[in-house]
Each structure stands twice: as structure tokens, then as C-alpha cells.
Amino acid sequence: MHKIPVTVITGFLGAGKTTLVRHLLQHNQGRRIAVLVNEFGEVGIDGDLLQGCQVCDEDKTALSTIVELTNGCLCCTVQEEFLPTMQMLMQRRDQIDCIVIETSGLALPKPLVQAFRWPQIRTQATVDGVITVVDCEALASGQLVGDLSALEAQRQADDSLEHETPIEELFEDQLRCADLVLLSKVDQVDEATRQQVEAWMRSQLPPGVKLVPCHRGALPADLLLGFNAAVEDNLDSRPSHHDHAVDHDHDDDITAIPLTLDHSFQPQELIQRLQSLVEQREIYRIKGFVHVPQKPRRLVLHGVGQRFESFYDRPWANGEPPLTRLVIIGRQLDAAMVRQAVVG
């Protein structure tokens, strides 16, 4: 019995993982793909966004299932949700060609891969490859790793940097575990900045790992699938900051505030309110759907820092209430305060 290949897509918040998966589903080249979404927060924004790609409606055989894991980091929920979900998918193996797992931006990739060593999974599925998505615009502006020139000079001067933040460690772990790194949003920077970011990124990658520019996830399925890497069998070659830790601690101050609002908003007015909120609080990511007055389609909204993107993805379904649903991820957030800032 052949093992079902599993592709793990990781990357920091807002890097473009969901956009990549949407494009893959819409251009699946006949593959039957099951998708597992590791959502951070109670409102399944990413899962709903993938369901809205309309592949299911156009071709019932193209997409087998979308499963949301809603308890946070995959490395903490594998026993509660991941294992039963994988076992369920294994029972449908004749209907599935491959599985794609989109991890949370806060999840460590290596503990998830280690789960594929478990006897219940090992004989039936293998990690075909790990893809890490990196935001070129964020790197260039210093929102993730600081000033590129200063960071490179500092790293050249001292190979064993101290006082790394957890986000920096997570970023490095994602790169070290990758078979392929995608540099997204390259169209948002000028050519000189893009070349600087690419040169720095290549200096950080393990030998043999390629860096591929990516615009809105528009890459062929043949590039993203079929690595045949059997990652779970060679984890020793993918070092992590957490290799010697019995377990890793999450930052309990980082929370996801879900908002379901019976309000409609003009996009620019809502974005201005959210930008003001970002200025006042430490907020990492805002995403969701917006009900816009007099518009038959829902607006998809993504925000990282002061940068917001939006597009209309599909009409509101018959019987579907046109609600505004957002998830706001940040540190030490008060739900009542966030709601008041959004509603006004």
C-alpha cells in the first residue's frame, strides 16, 4: 500500500500561505487534494476562505475535504485532533491523491513532522516536503527581522547571537525545516530592495534549499508537490532551536480575538479604525470577512501591521447572513476594547 504524500506549508503570519493553497486548489491539475487548516482563533477564517475558492462546486473530485484544527498550535493538538483526522483521511485514501497542511503562523514545523513517525500514521502517510512562505515586503521594512543590513552585519560578527526573540527562533526553525522557500509579495518592493532581500535570504537557507519568488501564490502544482523527501526520516538534518526541549512553551499573552458583528462597513472606514487600533496595541495580524453595504459579495480583509489588502471573493450564499467576521491576533488584547475600537 503506497503512502499518501503530505505537503506542509508553513510561514509567518500574513506571509501568504492561504493564498498559495487557494491557487493550488484552483489549479490542481486533476489532483484530489485534502487540506488541513490549523487556524489560530475560534472563527475559521482560513478554512472558510479555502472553501470559498469554489473548487468544490466546480469539481467534486478535485477537493476531498477541508478540515480545520481549531485548538491552536498543531504541535499541541496532534493527539486531540490531528491523529483522529489523519486516521479519518486514511480511511478515504482511495479518494485522495495528496494532503496539504497549512500550519498556523505561530506553529513550530518540526513537531508536526515528528507526528508522522507515529505507528498509526507512519505506514500510511509520509511528509513529501515542507514549504516555507516568507513575506518579502515585511523583511524589507523590518517588521519581522529588523533592518536587513544591520541584521546581516550583526550575524556576520557573532554566529551565536543571544537574546533572540521567540519570533526570530520560529522564523529560523521554519527555514531550517524547509525543502523549498517561497518569497511572496516581491511586487511590493523595488528591484534593488528585492535583490537585497533575496541575497540575505539565500545566505540563511540550508544547502540545497531553493528560494523562489512568488506573486499571489501563482506557482504550478508540480513545483509545490512531489518532493519525495520523506521528511520524517531525516529530521536530524533539519536542526531546530527546540530539539532538546521536552516541550515548548507558548506565549500565553498572545491571543486571538474573534469578532462576529451584525454591522456593515465601508472598507476604507474600517481599515482606518483597524490602523488606529494597530497603532495603539501590539497587533500582529487581522483577517476576516466584511459585509459592505450594497455589495452582493463579501470582502476578504487581511492586515499585517499597517498594511491591509482586500478583495471580493464570492457572493453571500442563499440564507447566509451577511455578517462581518474578523480575527485579531496580538499581545495582551482585551476583547471588549477591541470590539469597541472596531465598531466605534
Give the CATH superfamily of 254-343: CobW-like, C-terminal domain (3.30.1220.10)
Distance CA 122, CA 114 (A): 10
pLDDT at 229: 93
Whose cell is 523595488? That residue is 190
C-alpha cell at 53: 475558492
Sign of CA dihedral 138, 143, 144, 149: positive
Q: What is the pLDDT of residue 166?
A: 60
pLDDT at 246: 42
**Predicted pLDDT at 51:** 57
127: β partners: 6
Tell me what pLDDT residue 258 has. Answer: 85
**Distances in whole angstroms, Cα of residue 136 to Cα of each of 28, 148, 181, 203, 214:** 26, 11, 11, 15, 10
The reported pLDDT for the residue numbered 106 is 66
Predicted local confidence at residue 63, as pLDDT: 40
SS3 (DSSP) at 184? strand
Answer whether 225's CB lies under 8 Å from 5's CB.
yes
Second-level CATH architecture of 4-237: 3-Layer(aba) Sandwich (3.40)
pLDDT at 146: 34
Going from the C-alpha of 121 to that of each of 38, 66, 88, 232, the distances in angstroms are: 18, 19, 11, 11
Whether the Cβ atoms of residue 216 and residue 22 lie closer than 8 Å to each other: no
pLDDT at 52: 54
User: What averages of pLDDT result for each successive group of 10 residues across the chain (344 residues)?
Assistant: 89 82 86 76 53 44 45 46 78 85 78 87 93 91 52 44 56 92 93 93 91 91 92 87 56 74 94 93 86 93 83 87 88 90 89
pLDDT at 67: 53
Provide the residue ranges of all domains of the chain, joining segments of one domain with +.
4-237, 254-343
The pLDDT assigned to 176 comes to 92
DSSP state at residue 106? T
Measured between alpha carbons, how far is residue 292 from residues 130, 133, 226, 307 in Å?
Answer: 37, 30, 41, 20
